[in-house]
Amino acid sequence: MGVRQDSLPLMEAEETTADPELFDKIVNLSKRRGFVFQSADIYGGFRSTYDYGPLGVLLLRNVKDQWWRSMVQMRHDVVGLDASILSPPAVWEASGHLANFTDPLVDCKECRARHREDKLDDPDTCPSCGAKGAFTEARQFNLMFKTQAGPVEGSGAEVYLRPETAQGMFINFANVLNTSRKKPPFGIAQIGKSFRNEITPGNFVFRTREFEQMEMEFFVPPEDSPEWYRYWCEQRRNWYLDLGISEDQLRLREHESDEMSHYAAATSDVEFLFPWGWDELEGIANRTDFDLKCHAEASGARLEFHDPNSGERYVPHVIEPAAGATRTMMAFLMAAYHEEEVNGDTRTVLRLDHRLAPYQVAVLPLSKKPELIEPSQEVLNLVQPHWMCDYDQTQAIGRRYRRQDEVGTPFCVTIDFDTLDDQAVTVRERDSMEQERVPIAGLVAYLESKMSK
Ligand code: ATP
């Protein structure tokens, strides 16, 4: 979303209550099973920066793929873009980020701790040392990372890391319009890294300095923008529900007029019930013609739509659904996490939709005996071209099932000694734990029918 607004105070859940313990469970699971690692761990860790491990990279990729599928692949009116991360000051001057993408920063004169003024419980008391009245005047701190391009230092070489992907779509508006044969209503979508020098990063991957966004700018005739705004609010809400977040953990919250950027005609947030309360996953804004007009004025380019048949000429208005991929990945993990009693034991299971799960199938020989390894390898070869598979031949089978439950694998395929006679395998379903004997020859078709969505 363009120029930053102050973050909203956290709101308490209304009907459903947040689960504060869930946070630690997800952080522990993420580290223990290889979803998310602290960055530069062996050097003591680099604050607020995370690396996505073997399972995290799969889950994150699936989140982004599902977004791309629904926003680009399944539509005829949205095209993709992959714009650069580095950009010259002119872009951020025109967009307003150089002047306004700021948070109010205060320093404690006693202990030198820095805080975001708008996040303090008591604006007069330092939460680090308790000193009263010791804060400096608030300074507006710009959140953009600045660096330099080329070997010569100097203002001419200044560049910024993008704090959002959106401006890439605005500055390429004419390029896309001229090459794609699209006309409003149409959208440009992009997934990529963004960087913000957050004063108070935290809550694991919820707020980090380097993160991934999934954003789309939808250009529409001005008079149609209220209708398209409502359309995209609904579409985006349904995307989360379709992928397994339940209705009581998700809400669409319309901003009050004093929360909105001055140029926005309407804004809503899709919010998830995090362990600390309701918080933002995505913002959907009617940005009017603000961005195209700013860039047209600053660059001298004509950023408008001209219909050669009707002679009509106008600057489209923009509806922007802007989501965070890394933040959303964490929400899907939290929504999927369940603990339940099974035969006196606690089973941890991630009820991830199969489209998001890191592995869709685990291939498990009942034992390490050589006669089972070869057919297991054959089953793996059969299934692997269709789905992401894990293969595991260590430990007792019950423990291996639990390991797969814990990372959300929907189907385990077990090869046992009967397989050698009946050419069939046991397929175990994660949520029901039901097992079914399936002939190897029909295994792919069987799994396909189970994962048809
Ligand atoms: P917030 O109020 O949480 O700082 P924002 O309103 O500034 O977010 P936008 O500029 O609307 O965020 O960015 C769109 C989406 O990008 C957010 O809804 C969020 O999912 C994601 N996002 C923004 N900042 C971060 C961050 N520092 N770390 C992780 N994700 C982020």
pLDDT in tens, the chain (453 residues): 333 333 333 333 344 567 889 999 999 999 999 999 999 999 999 988 999 999 999 999 999 999 999 999 999 999 999 999 999 999 999 999 999 999 999 999 999 888 888 878 899 999 989 999 999 999 999 999 999 988 776 666 899 999 999 999 999 999 999 999 999 999 999 999 999 999 888 899 999 999 999 999 999 999 999 999 999 999 999 999 999 999 999 999 999 988 888 888 999 999 999 999 999 999 999 999 999 999 999 999 999 999 888 999 999 999 999 999 999 999 999 999 999 999 899 999 999 999 999 999 999 999 999 999 999 999 999 999 999 999 999 999 999 999 999 999 999 999 999 999 999 999 999 999 999 999 999 999 999 999 986
Q: Which residues are paired to 135 by β-bridges?
A: 108
At residue 15, the pLDDT reads 47
CB 23 within 8 A of CB 275: yes
Q: How far is the CA of 261 from the centre of ligand 1 (A)?
A: 15
Closest residue CA from atom 29 of ligand 1: 207
Q: How far is the CA of 324 from the centre of ligand 1 (A)?
A: 6
- The answer, yes or no, to whether any atom of ligand 1 lies below 6 A from the CB of 64, is no
- The answer, yes or no, to whether any atom of ligand 1 lies below 6 A from the CB of 326, is yes
Q: What percent of the chain has pLDDT over 70?
A: 95
- The answer, yes or no, to whether any atom of ligand 1 lies below 6 A from the CB of 196, is yes
Return the ∠ at Cα 190 (arms to 185 and 196), rounded to 5°: 125
Summarised one tens digit per residue, pLDDT across range 4-60 is: 333 333 333 344 567 889 999 999 999 999 999 999 999 999 988 999 999 999 999
Q: What ligand 1 atom has the least distance to the C-alpha of 215?
A: 14
Q: What ligand 1 atom has the least distance to the C-alpha of 201?
A: 27
Closest residue CA from atom 23 of ligand 1: 324
- The answer, yes or no, to whether any atom of ligand 1 lies below 6 A from the CB of 270, is no
The DSSP result for 162-222, as a single string, is -S-SHHHHHHTHHHHHHHH---SSEEEEEEEEEE---SS-BTGGGB-SEEEEEEEEEEE-G
The order of strands in the sheet holding 250-254 is 78-80, 186-195, 210-220, 317-324, 277-288, 266-274, 250-254
Q: Give the count of beta carbons closer than 10 Å to the beta carbon of residue 83.
A: 17
Report yes or no on whether pTM surpasses 0.85: yes
At residue 166, the pLDDT reads 98
Q: How far is CA 130 from the centre of its chain?
A: 36
Summarised one tens digit per residue, pLDDT across range 247-296 is: 999 999 999 988 888 888 999 999 999 999 999 999 999 999 999 999 99
- The answer, yes or no, to whether any atom of ligand 1 lies below 6 A from the CB of 142, is no
- The answer, yes or no, to whether any atom of ligand 1 lies below 6 A from the CB of 295, is no
Summarised one tens digit per residue, pLDDT across range 231-247 is: 999 999 999 999 999 99
- The answer, yes or no, to whether any atom of ligand 1 lies below 6 A from the CB of 208, is yes
